Chains A and B, each alone.
Chain A
Amino acid sequence: MILTLVEHEADAASATSLEALTLARQIAVATGEPLHALAIAGDAGKLAPSLGDHGVEVLHAASFAGDEAYAPRAWARAVLALVGAGAPKAVAAPASDRGNEVMAYVGAIAGLPMVANCVEVAPDADGVSWRLRRLRWAGSIVEEAVLRSEGPGLFTVAADSIAAEAGGAPVVTEVRAFGVALEERDLEVRVAEVLEPATEGVSLTDARVVVGGGRGVGGEEGFAVLEELAELLGGAVGVSRAVTSLGWRSHQDQVGQTGCRIAPELYIACGISGAIQHMVGCKGARNLLAINTDADAPIMSKADYAVIGDLHAVLPAVVAELRKERAR
């Protein structure tokens, strides 16, 4: 059996879970093993039909008292219950905050290696090892590695690296419900409270246009013109790590390896050199317009459009031109 931990909300599997399921199905085909899934809490009966299209033969539906509050060690216990009972050859999970966390616990408790951020996994010809590729440096480097594990291979699957697709012969997924046996310690770390966001403006991760600013903006006040442009375009302002480290803007605005990932229709990068720390956060942008005084900045080799010049000369002119356009 190849097992996939599926995260779900409102009875639908998360996008990254479907990506993990796609990789798990490749492993299932290569090993000739059946594909199973594990979901914790919620209504498994409603989740099951959509998993059948992905070739999931059995959905293990785990529950425990109080399972509406996420508790990573308790989730790991659910995975371990199946590791003990059905002996999966491999367990995959999305490389999300929760997926990485739960699988790290599984590895810690079972004493097995856990490999994060995989993009390819295949059984080796020797029958006991795995050949895999995983991401380092948030995807700037791919590592080829061989895993030898005494137990099931434990993998998390990097987000946005595998196209999630339905596949295999559509099956009617059988639901097997089970209660997870827990110790007191398994619930020691659990969500005690959820604070909902205050709704305000366009969120950076959902914006269709992002106006980005780097060190070249020059200071806190320099962002006024970026804000003005973003507002005219119905977009949001994002920044590089240099800007948040200097304290010019809140870390919430950071795009990059240690900030957020954006995927707008257009990213206008102003005074940003294009360090990989930043570029991994905006590589999902459909179009990139770079405005920079340096025609040889690394960002220029990744841009679709470029304006050579000082952003403080270029942006006010663009804003003026847009206002004229509006008045027409």
Chain B
Amino acid sequence: MEILVCIKRVPFVGGTVVLTDDHRQVDTKFLGFTMSPHEECAVEEAVRLVEAHGGSSAVLTVGPPEAEEQLRYAMSLGLDRAVLVDSGARELGPRSVAAEIVGAVEAMRSSGAGVDLLLFGNEAADTGDFQVGILVAEALGLPCVTGVKELEVAGGELRATRERGRAREVFAVTLPAVCTVKEGLNLPRYPSLPGRLRAKSKPLATSEASEHAEQLQMQSLMVPREERREAEVLGHGADAAGRVVEVLVELGVVKR
């Protein structure tokens, strides 16, 4: 079974978001980078599926050259090879990203490498466009199940489950197919030292992204102003317990 996982490099933001002076991006001077959380589960699932069914796996990103870091990380977990579609410092919109991915998949197909399953995160952590997986599936004429939290492959069929409120919905489609997944699908492993070493020499193919006219033009970003609260300090350590219970009573969560 041949699997392609598509990921996106995003900054690892902590407690506060700081924007650049031109208000057009997150200031990443002091930040590390990661892939979107849902995609970590997509990578893990690909590793497990190949372990169970054989075949091979690739990881792809459309992003800056620095995204090699995330591709190597994915390969350190067990994926076999990587594709970097270099879009430089530009921020491509979802339709442009999908077009680049479709181009890369068609190039793979024409070189004789088929893809049985394409895995995406349900949405990117930063831009949250909720559509790249569907756009790619439609362009390739494949079925797509989104928001998947359980996934099973057997006999050329994909059985995927997602949540709806507290209930779960099951979809069944025939491979080849596209699946966008959510965190919780599995518990991603951490890379081993041998895995990290192997990843350094795994193949990484690079190509240039095309020029795209974006129909949605970002003008500026802003961080919504939050009312900064002055917390009432109820005390220090165990001595605060009495005051905590008084507050619980005041708030009506404990009846006196």
Contact = CB atoms under 8 A, between A and B. Distances in A.
- Whether both chains belong to one complex is answered with yes
Interface of A: 70, 72, 95, 97, 100-101, 103-105, 107-109, 113-117, 135-149, 156, 188-197, 203, 208-209, 233, 235, 241, 244-245, 247, 251-252, 254, 257-259, 265-266, 273-277, 287, 289-290, 297-310, 313-314, 316-318, 320-322, 325
Given A143-B221, A251-B184, A275 B125 contact: no
Contacts of B188: 245
Given A70-B169, A117-B128, A306-B232, A276 B14 contact: yes
Given A114-B94, A195-B170, A274-B15, 19 more contacts: A116-B130, A135-B128, A137-B125, A140-B17, A144-B222, A188-B143, A193-B169, A241-B183, A244-B187, A251-B184, A265-B253, A266-B253, A273-B15, A277-B13, A287-B251, A290-B231, A298-B15, A308-B237, A317-B240
A136 B128 contact: yes
Interface residues of B, number: 81
A220 to B, nearest CB: 13
Interface of B: 13-17, 19, 26, 37-38, 93-95, 123, 125-131, 134-135, 137-139, 143-147, 161-162, 164, 166-173, 182-184, 187-188, 215-224, 226, 228-229, 231-242, 244-245, 247-249, 251-254, 256
28 contacts: A97-B164, A100-B130, A101-B134, A107-B131, A108-B138, A138-B125, A143-B218, A146-B216, A147-B216, A189-B143, A191-B169, A192-B171, A208-B253, A244-B183, A252-B184, A258-B183, A277-B13, A298-B15, A305-B247, A306-B233, A309-B240, A314-B240, A316-B238, A317-B241, A320-B241, A321-B244, A322-B248, A325-B249
A308 B245 contact: no
Nearest to A235: B253
A209 B172 CA distance: 38
Among A97, A115, A137, the most chain B Cβ lie within 10 Å of the Cβ of: A137
Instruction: Name the residue among B162, B171, B172 with the largest chain A CB count within 10 angstroms.
Output: B171
B161 A195 contact: yes
Contacts of B144: 189
B11 to A, nearest CB: 10
A104 to B, nearest CB: 4
Q: Chain A interface mostly helix, strand, loop or mixed?
A: mixed
A318 B241 contact: yes
A321 B246 CA distance: 10
A142 B236 contact: no
A298 B233 CA distance: 15
Contact of B235 (A138, A300, A307, A310): A307
A106 to B, nearest CB: 10
Nearest to A297: B15
A149 B215 contact: yes
The 9 A-B pairs at the shortest CB distance, nearest first, are namely: A298-B15, A251-B184, A317-B241, A104-B131, A309-B237, A317-B238, A108-B138, A100-B130, A197-B166
